[in-house]
Structure 1
Amino acid sequence: MRLLLGRAISALATALIPTTLTLAVLRTTGSAEALGVVLACELIPLLLLLPVGGVLADRFRPERVALVADLVRGLSQAAIGIELLMGVGRVLDLAVLSAVAGVAIAFGMPAVPRLVAAVVPGPERLRVNSRIGVATSTSSVLAPALSGGVVLVAGPGWAALLTAALFACSALTLGGVRTAKQAETARNTFAKDLAEGWREVRTRPWFLKSVLGHGVWHFMAGLFLTLGPLTAVKHLGGEASWVLIVQCGTVGLVAGVFLVPRLPVRRPLVVVQVAAALYLLPLVALAVSANVVVIAAAYFVAMFGLGLLSPLWETVVAEEIPEGALGRVRAFDQLISFASRPFGLAVAAPLAGLVGMTGLLLTGAVAVAVANLIAISSVKPPATGSPGERPPAKLRR
């Protein structure tokens, strides 16, 4: 319960940051360029330091890493809030504090899968990961409205302080989770630890192919989330059309994470990769200029697939990767995801202008399907047994 509560609070705090920071920078400077600089200052250290965070997550007890990471994020948000309340809000200061938050995220993210694996028994992990997914999905829906409301009523400084308070609560909650003390082992150099983590990745073709497929998924999501609203506003009836599409996707996501522990899934990795391939549907719908109802329905199905994918993937990886290497392996996974989507967001408009939106989206639809379905070729068939045999506690890939 403590783990679930801490993850829910942390997810809400994390989801509050983009809206708060965006409104704060625009209200203070009115400059889109300044906003881009501030957001990039969080992303760049996150990408650079995720491998370091993976090594630390495997060296130290995960609850302590999560505690320190959330405390640092809370302090950075508190500093932003105080500066905004004082009427300062310098872009340089916001950029530096955002970079500090990015460093904390890089250190904290790989520790979370290790924390779940350490405290949740194998048969319960899918259910717990599903509940964490519901909390995260709900937070992504509630956070923009909550942050926007606080900014409108009291100002962005108070929204940042609210975020800081939530991170403090999350740190104390997750920091109170107790895991077994790690056995003393010979301490390797950082480079050797990193190399051993990469060895865990490359010796598992199913993992490497799946992660690369998910990277293509995230890249195409960046394209869709850039070209989709542009198309909706210009050709599908305005902003309300895009809101409808996004909300249908949100409903699909929540439905997926809610239903996945109740489904008779015997081949989790096959379901994961097919679910990722479903993202071809909204890409094709947008490419052929379908009406808003068709695009919304396609996006619902795609995000329902994501809802299935996330808890199953978390569970499969925790079952198949040694706990002592889980932080480094998941850091590689997270690095691919975090690098791919911003890249897709950045190049969507230039690529569409160069090759045309229809060709770009159709090519992307094929790519996301092929890249994810090809990973199924690395899935081992289940062991033979009677048709009614109950699957073992260790999930089959």
Structure 2
Amino acid sequence: MPQNQLIKKQKYPEFFRPLAVSKAFRSLWIGNALSTFGSAITNVILPLFVYELTDSPMAMGTIMAAYMIPVVLILPVSGVIVDRFNRIRIMQIADLIRFLLMMGLMTLGTFGRLSLPVLIVIIAGMGLMNGLFQPAFAAMRARIFVSDIRNAANALNQFSEQLLRLIGPSIGGLIVSFASATLGFGIDACTFFLSFLCLMFLVQEGSVEKRKSRKEMFVHECFAGIQVIKKNTWLWVTIVFFSFANICLSGMITVLVPWLIKVHAHLPNYMYGLTMSGAAFGSIAAAFFFGMRKQWRHRGMIGYSGILIAGLALWLMPYAHHSFLFVLLMIVEGAGVMIFGLIWETSMQELVSPEVFGRVASIDMVGSFALLPLGYLMTGWLAGVLGGIGAITIMSSVSVGAAALILFAPAIRNFD
């Protein structure tokens, strides 16, 4: 009887299993949760700070470009670096430099010495370090999220990220309202330092297998991940699909959904916040649901069906005549995208070997990010030509049609 009681005490929901059984997961998860929280605060404080400094939308666009360009440029190179050197050391270096950059931002802002050119340089440095950090983090997830806990680990990681991205902006708004933007930058800096400390427990896990020869040309290594991707239909079709699908999905959510709520429906500002919170809530619910099972079957069908449903939710938004429906549709959209994202993450961890994971992850990220600026411009142009409703209808129809068409490919439909 005591033994049975002990077994019962060891029972816990599958969703929380990684926290209970893996010390490495706990260290990686806590560090990422802290830095995600700090970044969520900065993401809402930075635009307010820029507009207070310059009162110029062009300045904010320049800041976003200064962040994204270094990310896209370094990703192919960072994939090689991640596959050559200790991945945790790389993450620690990135965390430490981000800590110093944000502390510099806080200090200069506090003493009124922060100009737009200096801000651009600091934000560009943050983009460069994020482009180095993310492939290393993806490779560490592939190593630490072993098959026994993989579904739950990915789901719990996404659950916490979405929850903190839901909470962080509210905290950031309170900080700006009752303290100062520079305090928020300081908090973000501290979270990077705490992440650096958490990663100290994972240095051994971050080591990579030493290759017998390094005579291979560096430029060739940068694109070696392409060879791995080309060999698997699920990988290359999905990366190509999302290189273009992100143009529609991100363009609609970033450019057209705010227009739909604020200009077309004449709803108050807080409704936009509630609507976007709906997307985060849908993501959180989907992550929790996904993580409650150790294994999922028919993942190709489920994943692309999630994108199809997300596209349908966006297609229906112009016809929503009640604020509650806007929130409900964004909950559905967030859940659909999250389900696909989790299936993609787990499939990458299963299909890509550890020694090339950094390069494959970097190519995946380039595919996701490279065309986004073009997507935003195209969305604005299409809305100018067809009107906002026409643009939403066309772009959502394209995303739904593309997801449905890809399901006709046996390698995608039968991916299990």
Shift of 1:149: 1.7
Find out whether 1:319 has 2:339 as its counterpart. Answer: no
Amino acid at match of 2:241: G
Distance in 1 (alpha carbons) for counterparts of 2:280 and 2:191: 23
Distance in 2 (alpha carbons) for counterparts of 1:106 and 1:326: 15
> Equivalent residue for 2:323?
292
- Contact 1:80 1:160 (C-alpha < 8 Å) held by counterparts: yes
Shift of 1:79: 0.8
How big is each residue's C-alpha offset from its partner over 1:24-78, in whole Å with a ceiling of 9 and x where there is no partner? 2222222222222222111111111111111111111211111111111111111
> Equivalent residue for 1:195?
223
Q: How does 1:262-273 map to 2 (within 5 A)?
A: 262-263=292-293, 265-273=296-304
Find out whether 1:8 has 2:33 as its counterpart. Answer: yes
Distance in 2 (alpha carbons) for counterparts of 1:107 and 1:261: 28
> Equivalent residue for 2:50?
25
- Contact 1:269 1:316 (C-alpha < 8 Å) held by counterparts: no
> Equivalent residue for 2:268?
238
Amino acid at match of 2:46: L
- Contact 2:225 2:360 (C-alpha < 8 Å) held by counterparts: yes
**Tell me, which stretches of 5 or more residues in structure 1 are unaligned?**
383-395
Find out whether 1:119 has 2:131 as its counterpart. Answer: no
Aligned pair count reads: 384
Find out whether 1:222 has 2:250 as its counterpart. Answer: yes
Find out whether 1:98 has 2:129 as its counterpart. Answer: no
- Contact 2:290 2:339 (C-alpha < 8 Å) held by counterparts: yes
> Equivalent residue for 1:74?
99
> Equivalent residue for 2:411?
379
Deviates more, 1:27-36 or 1:77-86: 27-36
Deviates more, 1:292-301 or 1:22-31: 292-301
**Tell me, which stretches of 5 or more residues in structure 2 are unaligned?**
1-25
- Contact 1:209 1:374 (C-alpha < 8 Å) held by counterparts: no
Find out whether 1:184 has 2:210 as its counterpart. Answer: yes
> Equivalent residue for 1:302?
333
Distance in 1 (alpha carbons) for counterparts of 2:276 and 2:413: 37
SS at match of 1:122: coil
Deviates more, 1:76-85 or 1:328-337: 328-337
Distance in 1 (alpha carbons) for counterparts of 2:367 and 2:205: 28
Q: Give the alignment's TM-score, normalised by structure 1.
A: 0.90
> Equivalent residue for 2:22?
none
Deviates more, 1:262-271 or 1:286-295: 286-295
- Contact 2:307 2:340 (C-alpha < 8 Å) held by counterparts: yes
RMSD: 2.0
Percent sequence identity over aligned pairs: 22
Distance in 1 (alpha carbons) for counterparts of 2:151 and 2:320: 38
Shift of 1:368: 1.1
- Contact 2:28 2:199 (C-alpha < 8 Å) held by counterparts: yes
Shift of 1:135: 1.2
Shift of 1:112: 0.9
